[in-house]
Structure 1
């Protein structure tokens, strides 16, 4: 989840669309107090923070987040290109700093780099271990081969283990196309994935179907 705190719609709208095309969920706010409120709710993986927000500027938002112990990555946007401003922003707790006007491709690369820092190299839940960097999967100690979409589907489910992930969210993150919701694509991949992780029968499934909502990877 990316929190985008930017009061200029000419920047916020195209950036939000670009993030959503890459599979990220995006919350857009237009002032400092709203940015603080949303960040305090949890579940935010990255804050893209405009320095010149109304009511509470980006520097103060960043300072308050850090003083409250929030360690989410912060990428600060500013119309000021002076080196002193960069240093002040970094001292306030920002992880990276991009001056306006910026190239969207460069900004997206910076965002991806910050988000990669938050992704663990490996995750293990309920007998299934995923090495995300090497793209390897082991089930009960034995390696299994997954196709690309199966791997991405398992990654989304296992990173939200114990939680229900909606069909729309899965289609957005794995296929980048929520419009596929009327097709059987997701259900077929769930079926294939279940067979490969030894989850094709029995009551204690690793992947549960929550009818009308989505799927849950059971944590135990």
Structure 2
């Protein structure tokens, strides 16, 4: 099993409810967000610390989308990779991959604040908390899942544009693609990110006022 997020940009409203639900669930410090909604299309995309490619390894970037007059959105968080770099580099065992669910968990009690995971992640998922001197990231709300609940972001989405799937389930074999459009993203990463994306599409007819 490899649990994953399925992010459907074709129905995402860009309302940020998923990001707010994550914030409300875990109360991250100011300046730290485990999930962010990225707006692409209508204006120049603004890079920040939640969207960078590390310099330790070269990664190809996703092509910029050619939809200059339309806006669309991708909700991004930890990709819970099949071969997570954060787990490989963590010297303290704070980053682990659940052998049953495939969820990449972070134990802040064990974290020594070396920033190895922050530097190694191709997608900028791990954040460094200056106040605590430790790293942190999305753990797919595994505690909620253990109680039979959905991740906060999935449960809160008003359009169902974020779903929880198992990419090894044949039913989801063709569910989306591994890469979003229009943002800096590590294409073909050896970490094998599990998140799947449904790309936006223009309507057959558009009426301008």
TM-score for the superposition, normalised by structure 2: 0.23
> Which protein has greater RCO, CA pairs closer than 8 Å, 6+ apart?
2
Q: Greater helix share, 1 or 2?
A: 1
TM-score for the superposition, normalised by structure 1: 0.22
